[in-house]
Structure 1
């Protein structure tokens, strides 16, 4: 019985290791593709109109700054986030999550 249990344990370990390796490779590939798409969008935008790219970057920065401010400030009692505050909070949260994802998985990306 000891041999069967050991073989089953080794088999489970190998399946888990291979699964983690494949998942890590897929996440790295996804992060690299996302990074390439972001760089391509910035390049395409800059090649079409540098002024509009700078203005768009400034507006995006204001949008994200407002989202961060709304996220980290103390809300008034009995008031929920509405309208622009809710949209900027969601935008900031998605951008922060994307940045953390790229930080963890795109640091070893040799595609650039």
Structure 2
């Protein structure tokens, strides 16, 4: 087999490997997003069926924590590092925003809704 044919075969093999890998990764991410969305919906349903008042109070408290985290994340940083509650709420806001972006990009293809 000439060298040119081997290079062409290797190029096709690499292309197919990359394509199949990307398709599998996309399927796994879509499955994870659908599972996460389903778990969040189940938590909301169970919470509401247990106690609507506590669910609303918990949602209000979570909103306050996320608002404080957003304020800590986007305001001009003070001298030194964040400590205590400020660091915790900023981390919570960042994790929630990352989860929301993940769901926005991958759960839109979920046909479970």
Same fold flag (TM > 0.5): yes
Question: 1:49, CA displacement in angstroms?
Answer: 0.4
Question: 1:104, CA displacement in angstroms?
Answer: 0.5
Q: Which stretches of structure 1, 4 residues or longer, exceed 4 Å deviation after superposition?
A: none
Q: Distance in 1 between matches of 2:73 and 2:24?
A: 35
Q: List runs of 5+ in structure 1 lacking aligned partners.
A: none
Question: 1:98, CA displacement in angstroms?
Answer: 0.2
Question: 1:76, CA displacement in angstroms?
Answer: 2.1
**Equivalent residue, structure 2, for 1:64:** 66
Residues 4-32 of structure 1, C-alpha deviation per residue, up to 9 Å, x if partnerless?
A: 10010000000000000000000000000
Q: Distance in 2 between matches of 1:24 and 1:10?
A: 21
Q: Distance in 1 between matches of 2:111 and 2:61?
A: 31
Correspondence 1:79-94 to 2 at 5 A: 79-94=80-95
Question: 1:80, CA displacement in angstroms?
Answer: 1.5
Q: Distance in 2 between matches of 1:30 and 1:75?
A: 35
TM-score, L = length of structure 1: 0.97
Q: List runs of 5+ in structure 2 lacking aligned partners.
A: none
TM-score, L = length of structure 2: 0.96
Q: Distance in 1 between matches of 2:78 and 2:16?
A: 53
SS at match of 1:106: helix
Q: Distance in 2 between matches of 1:76 and 1:10?
A: 54
Q: Distance in 1 between matches of 2:84 and 2:93?
A: 14
- Number of corresponding residues: 111
**Equivalent residue, structure 2, for 1:31:** 33
